């Protein structure tokens, strides 16, 4: 009943990080808020598609579970940065995107016609973000 009332009044719950930055806005909006895009940039460092070196400025946020078709939510765990070329490729071919359960980084599973074993692949051009306090050398 509470969810129905909130929906009718257009009050949508949001998940915030420790600093109040929205990391999940549910289905309240399709477009990715600025703070959520910033979190995607920190995690993906550019186009996440394997082998692509495009920087974040050339990328769009893509819903892993499509917003319209799959009723995917707008959240960090349902988002990935993709350049225009790879964004179109994902929509036109049978690639699957998932977040690795151990480190929450995006992995891409090719269609069976490309790789019958459908081994998950990652982009190694963009090094993962390291938490502050770690030494770099």
- For 20-64, the pLDDT digits (tens) are 445 555 555 667 888 889 889 999 999 999 999 999 999 999 999
CA 33-37-40 angle, to 5 degrees, is 145
The pLDDT score that the predictor gives to residue 72 is: 82
pLDDT at residue 132 in the model: 46
Termini Cα distance of the chain? 55
- 85: Cβ contacts below 8 Å, ≥ 6 apart: 52
Where would I find the beta strands (DSSP E) of 21-119?
22-24, 59-63, 79-83, 96-99, 106-109
Does pTM surpass 0.85? Answer: no
**Residues ≥6 apart with Cβ < 8 Å to 44:** 56, 59, 80, 81, 106, 123, 126
């Amino acid at each position: 009943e509470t969810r129905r009332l909130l929906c009718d009044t257009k009050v949508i719950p949001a998940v915030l990080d420790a600093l109040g930055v929205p990391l999940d806005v549910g289905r309240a909006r399709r477009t990715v808020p600025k703070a959520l895009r910033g979190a995607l940039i920190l995690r993906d460092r550019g186009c996440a598609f394997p082998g692509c070196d495009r920087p974040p400025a050339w990328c769009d946020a893509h819903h892993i579970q499509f917003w319209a078709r799959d009723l995917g939510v707008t959240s960090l765990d349902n988002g990935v940065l993709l350049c225009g070329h790879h964004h179109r490729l994902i929509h036109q071919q049978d690639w699957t995107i998932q977040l690795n359960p151990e480190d929450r980084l995006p992995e891409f599973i090719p269609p069976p016609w490309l790789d019958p074993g459908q081994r998950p692949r990652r982009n190694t051009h963009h090094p993962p973000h390291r938490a502050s306090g770690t030494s770099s050398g």
